Structure 1
């Protein structure tokens, strides 16, 4: 740890902080006693009731821990969330009679000695300060911060209350919300993280049950409360939201790319009862020409009834007599099989005696298997915190995988019922409840890394914790109602989860709960699904979730949505790759674009899909108008379907059409599109359309196409990938488009054939050349579209020049 004296610039920054309203966030009951550089990395501040440990992880990430005096000497629990190691961060230190200042190039921590106060600033801008800091009352321990009046607050995991979540006290206790609609304050995936419109995040590194209070008392207080556990938090700041996404996902881990088939279409319902029914559904997708990559089997695969069979975790051979042959046949058709698993082992299940005898279940106070009643029957719960339980559970997965299962659906993993009296290997039910799904996903992830190191796992779960993304967990929003309110909440849920590192949050397309037949709602939900991370219609079987069973007009529009999803695979896979490298989510809120515009803070109904698309789902029945804000004054956005331009910085009313939702592309964007295939098994990037939206206001831009084999874990790091980087430059009446291929050291690059389509070309070009050689081209005056078939792109870069 390096430390130097405070520079004049940082002294000025401190003066700015001292003048901030946050300077009044003080605790007169806590008294400063001493300061020293701690052994190893970090700094220690002694107070009258304990000590603070302050540890920089990076110039924009700092961790603070308070250890109460009565907890001295107790071992500190390892973090379940944080994977970043503290770095050798240069820190400038100043101490005088009044204060201590610890300053990196970004974050500055200021400790006022009397009254005692800790505040944080970033590059001279005050961020947040402890208000009363640590306290204990009403069986809850808390850490309190002062927030300023104009701040919008985000975070707390999966909720549906509006983008600005300030004013709510959220339970930090993962709990399913069956049949939720437009509003839901408690759901299956809580995260102890708050983010601010001032561009900082506070992550509370404690999984125990509690609350995250985002100023519910309207007194300018942000409060984390828990029944116990570490008093540790990390502050992450940045110049922009991209830097905050980078910081929070460096802190808690990045989401690896899932298998490529995960970006295709899923056939799913609650549920397929037998082998004949499942085969018929897959065959109908193929016969109807609707692309399909996976079929998902709900709980009937292991039992004929909903109740009484959970925990069998083996094929019901009456209903699925040839399951292995069925899955092999599906694979030949390019369709993968995903099965549901739950952590509940019913006392009536075929595995109860085995589980009880082997000691793999949560226990009561006497060490016996803890049993309780819930909807599905009398049950025990697998103790995923116990090594022998993880081994037992994982061996079941291995056996199923050997038979042909390709992906895992982990359901009810909050756990859905988890009595406080239950005891686990590492703590009580309430102490470990919020990390149950996290550890379950870790078990599968680690099992693949150990036993199937050449494969990417597919892990679909509805409950997790900070950092679950690094295990490849793909969360969904739960049992949403089949109604317009259910659709209306989905953008917010996914956008907020993406801000917290969980970029693959998605919904049961069409809605799950209730026997509602609403074709307009179904189509609009699937049209939105094209621009969300996972395309998976799923519902109770009273009304079909699969498009192949809907009436003709609805099926046709659903087919269009699915086919567009497959056409966009090159773009979607590339933005998923970018997420794995930078933490930037695929679904991005408007505030990422207009981070200093107050109005952007609350917008969820319009969002960005990757860097290039602006999407405005239709979420009301019979909508004849849609208000859309086009961000970035001075920019231009083009309608994806008819190329009509729209100016940035303007809010417009547009007229929706039945065939698609309003979708726009940023001027200067490169969007590669593929030929539609029946399954991603048949997908490749050797022949693509490359769309570019030209506009005089964009003098230069860039984009890229990423590809790999779709299955190798961290193919980029392994050198098993290829990239094509795109660039544009407009100068002197000439548009130049560059294509630069790059292949990893362990990858055999393929040749690429691009059909270049340049939009918004007002006049017929005088010439089009590639590397100085003339090319034939077609210019459509009505559509203002230039079309050029480019020469094969091999190992060398190509420069296309369009003389306008």
Structure 2
């Protein structure tokens, strides 16, 4: 509940600002929007969902830009209006906005609970505009994108200017995604829909004030409220857009480095993965595909035929092996590149103040920048993507999209660089996403981008955490970075596994630990500068033997991981989830940046220091089982979990269903016809449920058209009886198995006297190797019951007693 002190402080602020605040004059409701006029500015309120309201301030003479965050800015829901002498109330069932008439001020309520109130509210001067809100004493604040400053970001003043952070480690206030959105422990979220350069002050300058400021841009914010954090995220993605399902192959293993220099080298590395029995689904080509060295060639964006004489044949051969090709592209066109004159003539570039193509120097050479906001820039860039797609390219990597260098006097079609800097990568992702869907409507786009904005997830963006140091200190902040991005919709945020920048001597232990952690990360992509090989297949036998099993575990977990992707696309729920989701009343859990939940089942604690023999793990409530040994731990306390170089600290929640399949060399051959369904039993669990999502892995409209299958599982324990129900729902999809040879594995269960499937008793066999449909086996050493059945379209019931 909101504190009495906050209520009193709000009243004091309300009356102390009478002299400087605006005064209400009139209002009307038009197209479901409450339009207010004061003596200083106009204000528009419109609900974008039941729990989200947009507030737009418009002051005469103040330039406005379009909304980039909202998926449908013009959409407004019906809301009720209640007028009283001193205030208006504009409300849905979930959220109420109270408009104080004099002084003019907005406050936001969930039910009768005041969750957020403007302090001064809106302000606007010649070089600065923004908003001020009142903070509660004990309120914790998250969000603002990629930063290494701790999970609770209150007390920080953070720049909102997307910027490269080369070689960062355990501290970084400014990085690739400076998102203008703040999530509160009071379960509200405020999003500033402004693309310009600015700052967000989270009680740094004034302890009890949240302030957003920008040099230009849209003077609008959206307040969202919900009863839980997951529901709050769902409100956020409802108004900013949900992440489309990625192609299933994007969840597989990537071969990636800076970079493969020739076709022969690229072919050799793909062959090496197969020879070393490592699954592989993608190969990523960095900038050497269009030039022989780092400088002087950016903007060519055409194959260097000396190094890559037969790119179409190479890509086709890879595709036949189930390996997809991903190409890097950049928005910079060097004046030395082969496309410079073409880009200038096409008017595709940002201009200078004289209206000519703007040129400037940076690391890669003298350059111009594609104007992705203009019709000409969009058309020119799309033409290049269309050319490259003809070669069979399956995925797109947009690099340097902050943009890494962006002079203030670069002029884009809708404004200056400082006005639109933070949405450059966002608009670039939109351009690629829409172009690929138009040209390849049967294929889900795969778009990896280094920078973006609120709502970039709706363009299928897969972000990564940039040029991290190849060191233990580079590994340490990766959980924090991924969790914070997932809270704001960008749930596929991942790291260059093994680290990217620097590192002259191979640190074997650090490398293994980072790649182990990657198994429980949204994208599995080792990537680094080439002085030390990022690919596990190029290291010593012990490294390969350890990591081969982890990569195969990643592939075995595909149905579980793909289900997490489905959950994210449906509700915005992150794949990596913070521990404070487990006990929302305990705000101390917000600080935990060492452990996280991978879906609902797994509790993961990456090892981030050398020579560690155990790690402290803060257990949520319930019973947790060591994934490797089955040892049970009672939740609600902190334990020391043992670890060695072969075991990443992973626990499984009792009552979890984890579907798995046999590992394959490539997800091209993925099938759930042979399904392992693991259930983690504990006598404390009387009821449990789980599900598994399946579709064809590639169609963009699988969800919207219902072309999928949802497998549901339940368990019920009563006395000595443990009963399971397996069911299948959905319209189905092309290639769906008519029957699954299903092995149910029940962990931590004593041998039952009987095992029944649909009322028929199973015969007991003496080893797992003897299992066939209609039989069961008890592994006394592991305390596991295994049984096999042919599960067709009908509901299946299994009873152990």
**Same fold by TM (over 0.5)?**
yes
2:469 paired residue among 467, 481, 485:
481
Aligned to 1:628: 617
Aligned to 1:9: none
- Secondary structure at 2:724's aligned position in 1? strand
1:600 paired residue among 589, 605, 610:
589
1:36 aligns with 2:27: yes
Deviations 1:72-131 (A, max 9, x none): xx7x54311101467775644433333323332121222233444321121222211101
Q: How far apart are 1:564 and its partner, in Å?
A: 1.1
Aligned to 1:574: 563
Aligned-partner Cα distance in 1 for 2:373–2:385 = 17
Counterparts of 1:495-506 in structure 2, within 5 Å, are 495-506=483-494
Q: How far apart are 1:14 and its partner, in Å?
A: 12
1:548 paired residue among 537, 556, 581:
537
Aligned to 2:626: 639
Aligned to 2:517: 528
2:747 paired residue among 759, 773, 789:
759
Aligned-partner Cα distance in 2 for 1:138–1:212 = 19
2:762 paired residue among 775, 791, 802:
775
Aligned-partner Cα distance in 2 for 1:435–1:377 = 24
- Secondary structure at 1:391's aligned position in 2? helix
Q: How far apart are 1:515 and its partner, in Å?
A: 2.7
Deviations 1:486-528 (A, max 9, x none): 1011100000000000000000000000034101110110011
Q: How far apart are 1:779 and its partner, in Å?
A: 1.8
Aligned to 2:798: 800
1:609 aligns with 2:598: yes
Counterparts of 1:236-247 in structure 2, within 5 Å, are 236-247=224-235
Contact 1:172 1:210 in 2 (8 A): yes
1:560 aligns with 2:561: no
1:712 paired residue among 699, 704, 707:
699
1:737 paired residue among 724, 729, 735:
724
Q: 1:16 to 1:740 in 2, by over 3 A?
A: farther
Aligned-partner Cα distance in 1 for 2:3–2:306 = 76
Contact 2:286 2:328 in 1 (8 A): yes
Contact 1:25 1:145 in 2 (8 A): no
Aligned to 1:537: 526
Deviates more, 1:717-726 or 1:24-33: 24-33
Contact 1:32 1:45 in 2 (8 A): no
Aligned-partner Cα distance in 2 for 1:327–1:17 = 65
Aligned-partner Cα distance in 2 for 1:80–1:115 = 31
Contact 1:58 1:86 in 2 (8 A): no
1:430 paired residue among 396, 408, 418:
418
Q: How far apart are 1:575 and its partner, in Å?
A: 0.6
Aligned-partner Cα distance in 2 for 1:328–1:18 = 64
Aligned to 1:455: 443
- Secondary structure at 1:403's aligned position in 2? coil
- Secondary structure at 1:685's aligned position in 2? coil
Aligned to 1:352: 340
Counterparts of 1:22-101 in structure 2, within 5 Å, are 22-26=10-14, 27-28=17-18, 29-71=20-62, 77-84=65-72, 89=77, 91-101=79-89
Deviates more, 1:88-97 or 1:448-457: 88-97
2:253 paired residue among 241, 260, 265:
265
- Secondary structure at 2:725's aligned position in 1? strand
Contact 1:586 1:609 in 2 (8 A): yes
2:503 paired residue among 515, 523, 528:
515
Q: How far apart are 1:55 and its partner, in Å?
A: 1.5
Deviations 1:649-703 (A, max 9, x none): 1111222221121111111110011101111111111101100011222221211
Deviates more, 1:539-548 or 1:321-330: 321-330
Contact 1:476 1:508 in 2 (8 A): yes
Deviates more, 1:778-787 or 1:504-513: 778-787
Q: How far apart are 1:169 and its partner, in Å?
A: 1.3
- Secondary structure at 2:390's aligned position in 1? helix
Ranges in structure 2 where 5+ consecutive residues have no aligned partner? 764-775
- Secondary structure at 2:234's aligned position in 1? helix
Deviates more, 1:597-606 or 1:246-255: 597-606
RMSD over aligned Cα atoms: 1.8
Aligned-partner Cα distance in 2 for 1:237–1:387 = 37
Contact 2:234 2:571 in 1 (8 A): yes
Aligned-partner Cα distance in 1 for 2:13–2:719 = 57
Aligned-partner Cα distance in 2 for 1:711–1:476 = 22
Deviations 1:587-620 (A, max 9, x none): 0111111111022111111100011111111111
Q: How far apart are 1:314 and its partner, in Å?
A: 0.6
Contact 1:716 1:744 in 2 (8 A): no
Contact 1:168 1:216 in 2 (8 A): yes
Q: 1:143 to 1:346 in 2, by over 3 A?
A: same
Deviations 1:377-419 (A, max 9, x none): 0011111111122111111111111112111111111111110
Ranges in structure 1 where 5+ consecutive residues have no aligned partner? 1-12
2:668 paired residue among 665, 673, 681:
681
TM-score, normalised to structure 1, is 0.95
Aligned to 2:772: none
Aligned-partner Cα distance in 2 for 1:114–1:729 = 59
Contact 2:49 2:239 in 1 (8 A): no
Aligned to 1:696: 683
- Secondary structure at 1:65's aligned position in 2? strand
Aligned-partner Cα distance in 2 for 1:19–1:328 = 66
Q: How many residues align?
A: 784
TM-score, normalised to structure 2, is 0.95
Q: 1:22 to 1:506 in 2, by over 3 A?
A: farther
Q: How far apart are 1:47 and its partner, in Å?
A: 2.4
Q: How far apart are 1:69 and its partner, in Å?
A: 4.3
Aligned-partner Cα distance in 2 for 1:335–1:87 = 41
